[in-house]
Amino acid sequence: MRVDVLRNVFARNEAAAAENRRLLDQRRIVCINLLGGAGSGKTTLLEAVMPRLRGHMRVAVLEGDLATTRDADRIAALDVPVVQLLTDGGCHLNATLVQHGLARLPLDEIDLVVIENVGNPICPANFDLGEHARIAVLSVAEGSDKPSKYPLLFKEARLVVITKCDLLAMTDFDLDQAMRDIRRINPDALVIPTDARGGRGIEDVAQWLRSRCRVGADVECLNVMG
Ligand SMILES: Nc1nc2c(ncn2[C@@H]2O[C@H](COP(=O)(O)OP(=O)(O)OP(=O)(O)O)[C@@H](O)[C@H]2O)c(=O)[nH]1
Ligand SMILES: [Mg+2]
């Protein structure tokens, strides 16, 4: 009986995720799910990257958190359309909550939606939200053993962003080891070391996002996720 209940929960989420993906595909909107541990630097990365997307594509953000609108306020300060999704204590976003968020965005005026998931390296990786690709975020402050300890987060990501590289000298984070472990778990993922303070890698992340979404004269947005 318990197994059936769990299966139903995932089945319902998968159905909602499929609806989200259908809606996004119809609207030719690319959707990225940004995942990583609490405080790994997800919002800071978005703050650094968003200005570099301006003029190339129209971006909106769904912010997932347990409480507060702090992250949505930070994104709104950049003049980017944003909806705060609150889980009221839940440890991950689900596709139904994302569906409500998408309904509140001006979808006719958007080429790319970035969903910042709840800060947590475990549960969010289990839930499809209807995204086209995932970005996993790992900060050097968390330790270089984390890809091996939380493999699903990295296995499902197209891009892995290693944040806070300005702190490398102050930690025992082994960048080579982390890169090797990520490649072993997911040989196809691109790995970009970044430092939001000094700007290292930020243009590379922006370039990766720009290449997901080919904006032509008619602002045609292709779901080219390769
Ligand atoms: N030194 C340094 N600090 C950073 C960097 N990126 C983020 N931080 C700091 O790390 C802390 C957490 O950053 P956030 O961007 O809020 O992290 P988050 O992953 O969005 O956090 P949650 O949404 O709560 O999970 C903040 O104090 C940032 O200033 C970086 O590249 N270098
Ligand atoms: Mg955040």
Confidence grade of residue 116 (pLDDT, cut at 50, 70, 90): very high
* Minimum-distance ligand 1 atom for the alpha carbon of 116: 23
The Cα 105–Cα 100 span in angstroms is: 9
Task: Please count the structural domains in the chain.
Answer: 1
The answer as to whether 77 is a domain residue is yes
What local confidence, expressed as pLDDT, does residue 2 receive?
A: 73
The answer as to whether 167 is a domain residue is yes
The amino acid at 146: K
The answer as to whether 175 is a domain residue is yes
Domain membership of residue 53 as a residue range: 2-212
What local confidence, expressed as pLDDT, does residue 124 receive?
A: 97
Q: Mean pLDDT of all residues in the chain?
A: 92
Ligand nearest to the CA of 196: 1
The answer as to whether 89 is a domain residue is yes
Confidence grade of residue 218 (pLDDT, cut at 50, 70, 90): very low
The answer as to whether 225 is a domain residue is no
The Cα 171–Cα 220 span in angstroms is: 44
Confidence grade of residue 226 (pLDDT, cut at 50, 70, 90): very low
C-alpha separations of 104 from 33, 60, 98, 99, 107 in Å: 18, 11, 10, 9, 8
pLDDT digits (tens, 9 = 90+) for 66-105: 999 999 999 999 999 999 999 999 999 999 999 999 999 9
Half-sphere exposure of 202 (CA within 13 A, CB side): 20
CATH number at residue 10: 3.40.50.300
pLDDT digits (tens, 9 = 90+) for 170-179: 999 999 999 9
Confidence grade of residue 216 (pLDDT, cut at 50, 70, 90): very low
pLDDT digits (tens, 9 = 90+) for 37-62: 999 999 999 999 999 999 999 999 99
With a 6 Å cutoff on the Cβ, whether 21 touches ligand 1 is no
Residues whose Cβ atom is located within 5 A of ion ligand 2: 42-43, 71
Our mutation pick for probing the ligand 1 site, out of 34, 35, 40, 44, counting the most ligand atoms within 8 A of Cβ, is 44
